[in-house]
Amino acid sequence: MDLKVKEGQVWKYDNREGEEDSRAIILKIEESKDDSMVVHVQISGIKINNPNSGEVIEEITHMPFSIEALGASLNELMEESEIPDFEEGYDSWKREYDNGKAGVFTISIGEAVKYMDDAVNS
C-alpha cells in the first residue's frame, strides 16, 4: 500500500471483531531518532473492559506506530477532522522515548489494541 497519511485524517483499519465502527485518527507525523517515520494516532470505538474501575475504555488517546505498521492496518480513508487534544499522552511518551524507555508499535492497530486489552486485564 502506498500510504499517504496526513494529520487530521480518520481511517477505518483492520479492527477486532465487534469493533467494526472503530476508527484511527492521525494526530501527528514525525521523524524518529533512527530517521524512520512515526505516526501518532487516537483509536476510538473500541471496547476494553477495565476490571479495576468496572468501566469500558472506548478510546485510546495516543498510540505511536511505525509507518509500516500503520500501512498494514489502514484500509479506508473516511474523512478529515479536527485533531483532538493528545498532548498529555504524547508528551509523556516523548519523554520516555527520548530516554530510551518507550518505543513505537510495529504491529497492526488491531494487534496493538489487543495488547492494550491484555495489559489492562492481566
**Dihedral sign of CA atoms 101, 23, 78, 68 in order:** positive
pLDDT tops 80 at residue 99: yes
Q: Report the distance separating Cα 84 and Cα 26, nearest Å.
A: 10
* pLDDT recorded at residue 1: 44
CA distance 64 to 41: 6
Confidence band of 3 (pLDDT split at 50, 70, 90): low
What is the rounded CA–CA span in Å between residue 46 and residue 13?
12
Residue 4 cell numbers, joined: 499517504
State the Cα–Cα distance between residues 27 and 37, nearest whole angstrom: 13
Give this prediction's pTM.
Answer: 0.92
